[in-house]
Amino acid sequence: MPIGTAVHERTFPLCQSLNYREWSGFYAVSVYETHHEHEYNAIRNAAALIDVTPLYKYLITGRDATRFVNRLLARDINKVAVNQVIYCCWCDEDGKVIDDGTITRLEENCYRWTAADPNLRWFRQNTIGFDVQVEDISEQLAALALQGPTSGKLLKSVAEADIENLKYFRKTSGKIAGVEVDISRTGYTGDLGYEIWIPWPDAVKVWDALMDVGRGFDIHPTGMLALDVARIEAGLILADVDYVSSKKALIPSQKFTPSEIGLGKLVHLDKDNFIGKQALLEEKKRGPERLLVGLEIDWNEFEAMCDAVGLPPQTPATASRVHVPVYRGRDQVGKATSTTWSPLLKQLIALASVEPRCAPPGTELQIEMTVEAVRHRVTATVRQLPFFNPARKTKTPV
């Protein structure tokens, strides 16, 4: 049975919908109101406060911490400075992705590692021969994501920290409501945003301070439904939806290499040996078997199909995680894994895994859609990811 996070006593009274989901053994709010419209608009137009405490969090320390991290990661950790954050993935010996997440270099040999799934056993299995300690701090450290165009000014007004000079994917430390916190310029919305890392017992104090000051910045507590729409617009993948961890895969086709899920740029094949390197070198020679792309679905075609049976077209109420076939002519060439109506772009969009020959932007494919229990094929044009990439995401905002 799920339990409450460090700020559950605050999120529960605000959750009018009582719409929750289980996330890593915790209650996570799906949507606070009956619909996620206001919460999505907060992400894109104001400030959204999201409880991301259920993320798995690990502390890596010891004399060999850097060598250990570099051994597991496909990305070169030696290029990462203290107080820098990187997005990364780690693979098994066959070069298939186990998980993806972020790593913050806190000190020369001290790292905070986040993950979607539990990875403690895998990490500790690989500590043999290294002077390193791996500690699961998931229930010692709460995390709040403050995202949206006004988030920078809000944070500057409430935090005793150098927010003004905090660059993209960098970390600073300071205080909020007298609580010592780490603040990273990161997030899962593809917009301007920050993540605040808080000692578990003090999380409510920080939540209250952000909400109190945030009234002047139109802050909204925001749940997973709005976050799902935003991350698809940003072209950000989700484990167990857009790819399957190689630890969970039941058949070979469910396992993905980094290049097959859009993470090829995070693989540094010129670095020291790492787990999966040989397999990824071989893949580089032959090329990936599939690629992650964005699809823009022809709304006029879908509207005509609905009109033909006397129904008005309806935009999906929430993002869909149901996989649907993608075709080119008579052949199935892939599948869409995440689909949503983008309120900002006024488009029906999807993330899809397709054969490389179908991946160039502008390629016309067909996606399967159902109207009144009848399956149809609707034109879907390949688009470059991300769909939405505002300049404010990386600019200094205040």
Dist. CA 74–CA 275, nearest whole Å: 8
Q: What is the mean pLDDT of each run of 10 residues along the chain (398 residues)?
A: 95 97 97 96 98 98 98 96 98 98 98 96 96 98 98 97 96 98 98 98 98 97 98 97 97 97 97 96 97 97 95 90 97 98 97 98 97 95 97 82
Q: State residue 397's pLDDT score.
A: 55
Closest CA to 352 of 290, 292, 298, 297: 292
What is residue 104's predicted lDDT score, i.e. its pLDDT? 98
- Contact status, residue 140 vs residue 98, Cβ threshold 8 Å: no
Identify the pLDDT of residue 89.
97
- The C-alpha atoms of residue 255 and residue 387 are separated, in whole angstroms, by 25
Enter the tokens of residue 370: 């159902």
CA distance 34 to 62: 48
What's the pLDDT score for residue 47?
A: 98
Q: What is the pTM of this model?
A: 0.96
Q: What is the DSSP letter of 248?
A: T
Other beta carbons within 10 Å of 253: 10
The confidence score (pLDDT) of residue 348 equals 97
Cβ distance 334 to 352 under 8 Å?
Answer: yes
Residue written as tokens 């469910």? 254
Burial class (CB in 10 A: 0-12, 13-18, 19+), 293: buried
SS3 209: helix
Q: Where are the alpha helices (DSSP H) in the chain?
A: 8-14, 37-45, 65-72, 120-125, 151-158, 203-214, 224-233, 277-286, 299-308
Quick one: pLDDT at residue 156? 96
pLDDT (0 to 100) of residue 10: 97
Task: In whole angstroms, give the CA distance from residue 286 to residue 103.
Answer: 30
One-letter amino acid for residue 362 of the chain: G
Q: Which residues of 130-147 are buried (b: 16+ CB within 10 A; e: fewer)?
A: bebebeeebeebbbbbbb
Reading the block at residue 145, the tokens are: 């994501």
Question: If residue 288 lies in a helix (H) or strand (E), which one and from where to where?
Answer: none
Q: Could you tell me if 109 and 61 are in contact, meaning their C-beta atoms sit under 8 angstroms apart?
A: yes
Give the span between the Cα atoms of 301 and 320, in whole angstroms: 19
State how beta strands 193-199 and 179-184 pair.
Answer: antiparallel
